[in-house]
Amino acid sequence: MTENDISRVVIGLAIEVHKALGPGLLESTYKECLFYKINKHGLFVEKEKPMPVIFEEIKLDCGYRVDLLVEKKLIIELKSVESLSVIHLAQTLTYLKLGNYKLGLLINFNEVLLRNGIRRVINNL
């Protein structure tokens, strides 16, 4: 599956989670539920995947963690905030660059209509 194929599946699953739970819960709740749905769907998913920083020849564990990594290709960064900001987009793009990934989804579950809280983030390698 390509990154785009995976993202379509994940968006559909995120919408299912949002329809069941609605907005207003903690980010960790949505993360656990989406992790469960992705895994149940048969995709390989990692939760709280460490994202080290490589500086020159050293690898630094600075505590960065990607919320979800699907099929070792798609980063998912989850939020439950009033509105997404530029810093949320920057964070997702930084994770893409650190891991050398092409595509990420930034999803804000604190929206009445989840579609309004989904942003595709592309790393122009």
Domain ranges of the chain: 3-122
Nearest 10 degrees: CA dihedral of 25, 27, 115, 97? 170
* β pairing state of 103-108 and 118-122: antiparallel
Give the residue ranges of DSSP H helices in 1-125. 3-21, 27-41, 86-99
The fold for domain 3-122 equals Trna Endonuclease; Chain: A, domain 1 (3.40.1350)
Per-residue pLDDT for the chain (125 aa), expressed as one digit of tens each? 999 999 999 999 999 999 999 999 999 999 999 999 999 999 999 999 998 888 888 888 888 899 999 999 999 999 999 999 999 999 999 999 999 999 999 999 999 999 999 999 999 86
